[in-house]
Chains A and B, each alone.
Chain A
């Protein structure tokens, strides 16, 4: 363990005073930033796949299917090496990777969101119309509460996965928490179990904490009626 204690600064901040900030702080920042962007992308794509105008629906569905059919690593290769070459836009590795992660996990969220909204039985909407409510009122008071309750568990799982998968940026040389573990292991060589055990434990604390927060959120939404037969499509 001394090897970990000695380099606590390195784990927490990376090479900060000398270089850009890294380590655990970067991992957490990446998680929050990517999570928020992914949710925005998920909401956009999810709503697009529910629009009554078919071409927009198709665009969203095809995009989501393409992204979900390939490993995140391959998708990040596209974003990291090929997007700058194709478009000529110069992005920093951090930018292109975080956008890549956000789009990748955002399309999973889109699928969860679409599934949740479609899981609300159409009879509910029809009943809303029959009682004289307008479209927005039906969405606000009838469809969304049920859909949100159905979506929350899947979405929380997705956020946890997204946080864990930010470790992939280590393979592209970004100095996040995982990368520091790898570098330290390369240098010390004889403590792999201690180093990766520690790295895993820290990731575990964050993801497990996130899972518990998600449970609380689920409890708070229990007032909404439960949707039956909700399963996310592949």
Chain B
């Protein structure tokens, strides 16, 4: 089947792809920030000295790593409105409800994976350093802030790079609840013009370029931190 490149670079198609890409990028960035927050929280909970906090952290990670994203997505998408009125949750309902839900859910799920990356990173700092810091008279918080955190970046960056790409790819699932991101824009082009082959080629190429760019950025970051 010959591919109709002129259709792909026609203005209407490019506009739709660009709109989808924009939403995918915005969602990816929000989800990454959210996943980093949830992940840091999950990792700290898991490493806490309190038994209760530790089990909370562990259950969070175990639950969200073992339930399909799609199920969590539908659970929140259909479940939240049965629990609360829109005026009780103005943040979630401002703008597009399904986009907000998708960002929340992908952040939660990716946060569980991120928590493992961060926890492994913190645990990779040699115990002798922590003992040395405590022995030299600085307290636990200072040890964490000045000894552990500065060493984290080079350790967790490789794991984080694959997580960031996973987040970008996960945003495609949000089309199941009606978010107009890149994949769903491709579907729309297909249903409007019956040119599914061209539409999917455009979408696929856009994803490849996007993920290639993320990969390049993360590799550059790794390199800049590795020099120290």
Which residues of A (193-212) have their CB < 8 Å from a CB of B?
A: 193, 196-197, 199-200, 203-204, 207-208, 211
Chain B residues positioned under 8 Å from A73 (CB to CB): 172-173, 175, 183
Question: Min CB distance, B201 to chain A, in Å?
Answer: 9
> Does residue A171 face the partner (Cβ distance < 8 Å to B)?
yes
Chain B binding surface SS class: helix
Question: Min CB distance, B192 to chain A, in Å?
Answer: 15
Chain B residues positioned under 8 Å from A85 (CB to CB): 1, 196-197
Chain B residues positioned under 8 Å from A222 (CB to CB): none
Chain A, residue nearest B170 (CB): A71
> Contact at A82–B173, with CB atoms within 8 Å?
no
> Contact at B71–A74, with CB atoms within 8 Å?
no
Cα A74 to Cα B158 in complex, Å, equals: 25
Question: Min CB distance, B133 to chain A, in Å?
Answer: 25
> Contact at A71–B207, with CB atoms within 8 Å?
yes
Cα A165 to Cα B205 in complex, Å, equals: 23
Chain A binding surface SS class: helix
Chain A, residue nearest B219 (CB): A234
Interface size on A, residues (CB 8 A): 40
> Does residue A160 face the partner (Cβ distance < 8 Å to B)?
yes
> Does residue B204 face the partner (Cβ distance < 8 Å to A)?
yes
Q: Which of A68, A73, A78, A82: most chain B Cβ within 10 A?
A: A73
Question: Min CB distance, A144 to chain B, in Å?
Answer: 25
Chain A residues positioned under 8 Å from B211 (CB to CB): 69-70
Residue-wise interface mask of B (150-167) relative to A, using a CB-CB cutoff of 8 A (1 in contact, 0 not): 000000001101100100
- Chain B interface size, as a band, is 35 or more
> Contact at B158–A231, with CB atoms within 8 Å?
yes
Cα A85 to Cα B176 in complex, Å, equals: 24
Cα A204 to Cα B112 in complex, Å, equals: 14
> Does residue B215 face the partner (Cβ distance < 8 Å to A)?
yes
Chain B residues positioned under 8 Å from A74 (CB to CB): 172, 183, 186, 200, 203-204, 207
Chain A, residue nearest B184 (CB): A73
Residue-wise interface mask of B (1-26) relative to A, using a CB-CB cutoff of 8 A (1 in contact, 0 not): 10000000000000000000000000
> Contact at A81–B196, with CB atoms within 8 Å?
yes
> Contact at A192–B82, with CB atoms within 8 Å?
yes
Known: A73-B175, A167-B71, A203-B71. A86 touches B66 (CB 8 A): no
> Does residue B147 face the partner (Cβ distance < 8 Å to A)?
no
> Contact at B74–A193, with CB atoms within 8 Å?
no
> Contact at A86–B68, with CB atoms within 8 Å?
no
> Does residue B208 face the partner (Cβ distance < 8 Å to A)?
yes
> Contact at A164–B66, with CB atoms within 8 Å?
yes
> Does residue A181 face the partner (Cβ distance < 8 Å to B)?
yes
Chain B, residue nearest A171 (CB): B176
> Does residue A8 face the partner (Cβ distance < 8 Å to B)?
no
> Does residue A182 face the partner (Cβ distance < 8 Å to B)?
yes
The 3 nearest A-B residue pairs measured at CB? A192-B78, A71-B172, A196-B75
A-B contact pairs, 25 of them (CB 8 A): A69-B208, A71-B170, A73-B172, A74-B204, A74-B207, A81-B196, A81-B200, A86-B1, A164-B68, A164-B69, A167-B68, A171-B70, A185-B78, A192-B75, A192-B82, A193-B75, A193-B83, A196-B79, A200-B67, A200-B71, A203-B71, A204-B63, A231-B158, A234-B161, A234-B218
Interface residues of A (CB under 8 A from B): 66, 68-74, 77-78, 81-82, 85-86, 160, 164-165, 167-168, 170-171, 178, 181-182, 185, 190, 192-193, 196-197, 199-200, 203-204, 207-208, 211, 231-232, 234
Interface residues of B (CB under 8 A from A): 1, 62-63, 65-72, 74-75, 78-79, 82-83, 158-159, 161-162, 165, 168-173, 175-176, 183, 186-187, 190, 196-197, 200, 203-204, 207-208, 211-212, 215, 218
- Apart from A69-B212, A231-B158, what 4 extra A-B contacts exist at CB < 8 Å? A70-B169, A82-B196, A178-B68, A203-B71
